Amino acid sequence: MGRSANFVHFSVKSSILRQSDRTTPCWPENNMKAKQLESALAALDRLDPDLKSARATYGNPPDRFEQASFSTLVRIILGQQISRAVASHLWERMKAKGWQDEHGLKGLAYEDLQAIGLSRRKAEYILDLASAINSNSLDFEILNSQDRQIFRQTLIAHRGIGDWTINNYRLFCLADLDAWPGNDLALMEAVKRLKSLDARPSHKEMDQIAAGWAPYRGAAALLLWHLYACLVRDARPTG
């Protein structure tokens, strides 16, 4: 995959961003996850000069860690293959109905979620997961304490859960700073610009590039989403 002049344009464009466009970190000093992320970003500076340059230009990514819960997993499922704005709108509709957790979803039919805008498949994914929790066949407290491999095996057994969803949950909820959702389109575009490539890298190429960032691939993803948001303005990671 060839390199182009994109990174030069990327560097010039950064200089015309208004100060209000730049995202500044808001990490409490006692926030352990934030401190771990800050250390990981410093390590990435040493591993990749392009990431170092991007961070120097755009600053640190914002603190976007979330509660490790079924509700957060639902939001990630909502964000599969749609924009963050649409996913947020659907989530607000669910909250307005009191359907944001397994208790509120108990007893609902797939058609109930379809009626507020969810696709049939996402309605099935979410209600089937809620049913697994309510029947005690899936325990999130146990799930969140499992190692990476067992965690993946447990969740991927459920319909609608793939590696993108698993890695986003592990990154945003469990602060697994090596979780890598490499098939994310925004990340692909960000890597294209970061590395001055002629085209977006494939999923396989993304994984090959990210191999040099281990064990901080998740931190790199957060920085790349931040880079993408700064360049595309209204876009944000779907996390």
Whether residues 126 and 94 fall in one domain:
yes
Check if the beta carbon of residue 228 is closer than 8 Å to that of residue 187: yes
Q: Is residue 102 part of a domain?
A: yes
> What pLDDT shows up at residue 26?
40
Q: Is residue 20 part of a domain?
A: no
According to DSSP, the residues that pair with 3 across neighbouring strands are: 197
Q: How many domains does the chain have?
A: 2
Q: Is residue 64 part of a domain?
A: no
> What pLDDT shows up at residue 3?
56
Domain carrying residue 84: 70-172
| Domain CATH number, residue 87 | 1.10.340.30
Whether residues 121 and 214 fall in one domain:
no
Cα–Cα distances (Å) from 173 to 14, 52, 66, 218, in that order, read 30, 25, 5, 12
- Of the candidates 167, 215, 223, 160, the one whose C-alpha atom is nearest the C-alpha of residue 193 is 223
Q: Is residue 60 part of a domain?
A: no
Query: pTM of the prediction?
Result: 0.84
HSE-CB at 137 with a 13 A cutoff on CA atoms is: 9
> What pLDDT shows up at residue 1?
62
Check if the beta carbon of residue 100 is closer than 8 Å to that of residue 189: no
Whether residues 44 and 132 fall in one domain:
no
| Domain CATH number, residue 40 | 1.10.1670.40
Whether residues 84 and 166 fall in one domain:
yes
> What pLDDT shows up at residue 239?
41
Q: Is residue 158 part of a domain?
A: yes
Q: Is residue 144 part of a domain?
A: yes
Whether residues 143 and 49 fall in one domain:
no
> What pLDDT shows up at residue 154?
97
Whether residues 94 and 160 fall in one domain:
yes
Check if the beta carbon of residue 158 is closer than 8 Å to that of residue 132: yes
Residues of the chain with pLDDT under 50: 4-30, 234-239
For residue 162 the two structure tokens come to 């793939």
Check if the beta carbon of residue 195 is closer than 8 Å to that of residue 49: no
